[in-house]
Amino acid sequence: MRILGYINYGYRPPAPFVTAVIVLHELNVEARLPLLLDTGASNTIVLWGDIKRIGIDVSSLKPERKFSGLGGLIEAKPITSTINFRSEKGELVEEKAEVYVTTSACIHPKLYLLPSILGRDIINKYALNYNYENGEVYLEK
């Protein structure tokens, strides 16, 4: 079973992505998001641009974890979630996960351009196949 991804040529260098519908249960939010496949990220996380776009009010969320990365040290709240993918044959593929929602203020406007991330908490359940020269990106079980 394969979940097809794609190469986003809008990034320099181009980057592997997958599209998913994330259901953040306790927030009653469901959103279709492009997710950067990031083997350097321990967890799946929704970042500032998507938080703003889908209208999550983080003011009432109490952060429970700190992450460090390109945006510096950020705080985030884990939310019980379902991540829904479609296989290449159109089958629904559901993954239960704690998706982290960034609660820290965005310290620079350019950070709104960072994509949300599919981390190793999900990637490690699959074989990640990424062949830039052939334009192939997919997760496979």
Note the pLDDT of residue 70: 61
At the topology level, CATH places domain 2-140 in Cathepsin D, subunit A; domain 1 (2.40.70)
Note the pLDDT of residue 71: 62
Note the pLDDT of residue 65: 87
The runs of H, that is alpha helices, within 7-125 are 48-54, 120-123
* CA torsion, ordered 117, 74, 29, 54, to nearest 10 deg: -80
The answer, as to whether pTM is greater than 0.85, is yes
Note the pLDDT of residue 115: 96
Residues with pLDDT less than 50, the chain: none
CA angle at 57 for the pair 86 and 61, rounded to the nearest 5°: 95
Each domain of the chain, given as residue ranges in start order, spans 2-140
Note the pLDDT of residue 128: 98
Question: Which pair of tokens denotes residue 84?
Answer: 């829904």
Choose among 46, 37, 22: nearest CA to 136. Answer: 37
